[in-house]
Amino acid sequence: MFFVTRTAPSVPVALQSDSVSLLRKVMLGAALAVAANAASAATQLNVGTVVWIGYGPFYVAEAMDMFKKNGVSVKLQVFADPALIPAALAGGSVQGAMLTYDQVIGQVAKGMQQKVVMPIDYSNGGDAIVAAKAITKVADFKGKKVGFNPLSPSDFLLSYALSSNGLSDKDVTAVNMTPEAVPAAMASGQMPIGVTYEPSLSQIVKQGGGQKFHVVYSSKNAPGLIADVLVFDDKFIKANPKDITAIMKSYLDGMAFMKAKPDEAAKIIGKFMGVSAKEVKEQLPGVYNIPLAEMPKAFVKSKETTSYYASGAVIGGILKAKAQIDKIPPTEATMDAQFVTALQAK
């Protein structure tokens, strides 16, 4: 290659021109490659999550490179405490989040513009209040210590169970702890009642050969009230619709894989959750992952608690009664159904 410098040997003008043109092309190509790599790194999306059996399709999608196949770079960022995820989403450290619908209502009531773009699942026994065998009903909770994570689905489930049985939060002694800490606290004997979800739920029930603790009340008693949802900030939704669609497609691909290859999927999910494939299969009935065909129901007005309009009214009422929100936000402000609608049309 000939470089034109003051000390370069004399060469024909045409050759000089060709050389300069070639050099420019090489440099431009290199610059574009660097820019492309930088853009690729910059566009990785962090999605906040917790270890929860209902998020299995997402775990499969990450392990099987389904996000990449759908044209988006996604990293699932695991939080030990689900209550920390909304703030992370608001602060921008994660671009998307897997939350429960009660969390979304709480955030929107505070002025945040976080919206549900897709229903993921609803708990069907995967969240529960467990207690010592001698405690047989919710009414027996009165005056006792209950371990749970405040401002979380566990808190909400407990409040709903108490109010449905003529009690209130004031009738129990709340002990602040993460869902993962509940099994050890109950095993030590310091906590007769705990509220948690899988896999911690199964760990508690199996203690003492299954003779120490049992489920007194679960999300199966209130279908749809603990609903897991995929959430993004409204500004991100408007700026990145293709990425959101790709993430949703990856979730659906993960669901399809779970159905087609249940054994392999159970191993993948178990590895992510830190449990065996056998335990994954035992826990899966505790959730209902919503297929695309049923997703629109969540966004439509209905008296069924699987609709956000119905469940939102109940959830909002409890949150307001607990002074966690000043007013119940309009259901429409908590969701954006355009992506589900578009996917269904394809």
For the segment 151-164, what is each residue's pLDDT rounded down to a tens digit?
788 988 999 899 99
% of the chain at pLDDT higher than 70 = 88
250 and 330 housed in the same domain: yes
d(CA 86, CA 106): 9
74 and 115 housed in the same domain: yes
% of the chain at pLDDT higher than 90 = 77
Question: What was the pLDDT predicted at 18?
Answer: 53
110 and 252 housed in the same domain: yes
117 and 266 housed in the same domain: yes
Question: What was the pLDDT predicted at 153?
Answer: 81
Tokens 């999608």 found at: 61
132 and 112 housed in the same domain: no
237 and 164 housed in the same domain: no
Tens of pLDDT along 165-203? 999 999 999 999 999 999 999 999 989 999 999 999 999
Question: What was the pLDDT predicted at 35?
Answer: 42
Tens of pLDDT along 262-303? 999 999 999 999 999 999 999 999 999 999 999 999 999 998
**Which is nearest to 126 in space by CA: 179, 173, 164, 166?**
179
Domain assignment present for residue 107? The answer is yes
Q: What is the pTM of this model?
A: 0.76
Domain assignment present for residue 215? The answer is yes
167 and 70 housed in the same domain: no
We report the CATH number of the domain holding residue 290 as 3.40.190.10
Domain assignment present for residue 152? The answer is yes
Domain assignment present for residue 276? The answer is yes
118 and 232 housed in the same domain: yes
Domain residues for the domain of 150 are 127-221
36-64 mean pLDDT: 83
250 and 273 housed in the same domain: yes
**The domain boundary residue, chosen from 171, 188, 221:** 221
**The domain boundary residue, chosen from 221, 253, 274:** 221
Task: List the structure tokens of 297.
Answer: 């129901």
**Which is nearest to 214 in space by CA: 327, 132, 307, 335?**
132
Question: What was the pLDDT predicted at 75?
Answer: 98
Tens of pLDDT along 300-338? 999 888 999 999 998 998 889 889 899 999 999 999 999
Concatenating the DSSP letter of every residue in 175-222 gives EE--GGGHHHHHHTTS-SEEEEETTHHHHHHTGGGGTSEEEEEEGGGS
Domain assignment present for residue 118? The answer is yes
161 and 111 housed in the same domain: no
241 and 135 housed in the same domain: no
117-135 mean pLDDT: 96
Q: Element (H or E) spanning 310, and its range?
A: helix 308-321
Domain assignment present for residue 27? The answer is no
Domain assignment present for residue 165? The answer is yes
249 and 191 housed in the same domain: no
Task: List the structure tokens of 182.
Answer: 């509940």
Count of domains in the chain?
A: 2
The pairing of beta strand 193-197 with beta strand 145-148: parallel
Domain assignment present for residue 243? The answer is yes
**The domain boundary residue, chosen from 187, 204, 221:** 221
